[in-house]
Amino acid sequence: MVTLTVNGRVVQAQEGEMLLEVIRREGIDIPALCHHEAVEPFGACRLCMVEITKEAWDGWTNHVTSCLYPVEQDLIVSTHTPKVNELRKSVLDLQLARCPNSPEIRKLAAEYGVNETSFESKPDADNCILCGLCTRICDKMGFNAISTVGRGHGKEIAPPMHEAPPDCVGCLSCALNCPTNVIEYSDVNGKRTIWGKQFELIKCSECGKTTITREFAQALSDRKGIPIEYFEKCDHCHRKELSLTMGQVAGWSKEVQS
């Protein structure tokens, strides 16, 4: 166990935990766009910056990304000092210059008093902040369908060669976890389109409700050994089936008892 101070409160933390986890557990709200518990911390959005110091440091302070900084004994953490706020403000100013039309970034920037960017906005702006959360989740799930492409101002998130990614199974994890909701997809008439690839959604064999894509079910079946027929029905029809089975059991025992 490690003892540290967060905003004047003495807290306990496990060895090896990151500062952000401790701060969130204490109920202190600090912005973090690129963070997700499912994947390793990355430190891309730079919004979870905090000020750290120690008694032994003679008044010196340091500014670190809390998602990547492991807890230390006797560390003194401040999350909302004027300097930290100023740092976040300039990061948001830059992000607003990159994504002037993103409602999520605009809202966050407005909270820190940035209504218009002081830089020149990107001319062909999209809403991607290049945090790489989508690619990290895709890698974690073991599909590796998308990645960051190019360098510098030409960097972007894209499938290989900008073509329909062969490894994508259409699970939608990238799009649903994007902090700025920039990844476009559509579910129309039992077909899902994402990254320029079309997938067929499995239709429940009883009620016709669509569930996950056939490719995703096949991947789960191949990798995890789940029988493919489990995916043929929707969750509600599965429940109905279970209730009928239980009813049969109950009805049968009723006959026996009487």
Partner 1 sequence: MKSRLVVTPIQCTGCRTCELACAFAHSVDGKPGKSRIYPLPGGMKDLYTPVVCLQCDDPACMKSCLVDALSLNEETGAIDLNEEKCVQCQACVAACPFGCSLHDQKNANVVKCDLCGGDPVCAFFCPTKALEFKPVTPTKRKRAV
**Closer CB to partner 1, residue 73 or residue 253?**
253
**Closer CB to partner 1, residue 151 or residue 224?**
224
**Closer CB to partner 1, residue 125 or residue 220?**
220
Burial class (CB within 10 angstroms; exposed 0-12, middle 13-18, buried 19+) of 245 = exposed
Both tokens of 187, joined, read 């579910």
**Closer CB to partner 1, residue 70 or residue 247?**
247
Residue 150: CB minimum distance to partner 1, A: 26
Residue 256: CB minimum distance to partner 1, A: 11
Residue 216: CB minimum distance to partner 1, A: 7
Both tokens of 175, joined, read 């799009």
What's the CA dihedral at 209, 213, 215, 221 to 10 degrees? -60
Residue 81: CB minimum distance to partner 1, A: 27
**Rg of the chain over all Cα atoms, to the nearest angstrom:** 24
Residue 36: CB minimum distance to partner 1, A: 7
141, 212 Cβ separation under 8 angstroms = no
Both tokens of 253, joined, read 């025992």
For the chain, the residue count is 258
**Closer CB to partner 1, residue 23 or residue 75?**
23
145, 168 Cβ separation under 8 angstroms = yes
Binding residues for partner 1 (CB under 8 A)? 36-39, 137, 140-142, 171-173, 176-177, 202, 211-212, 216-217, 220, 224-226, 230-231, 233-244, 246-251, 253-254
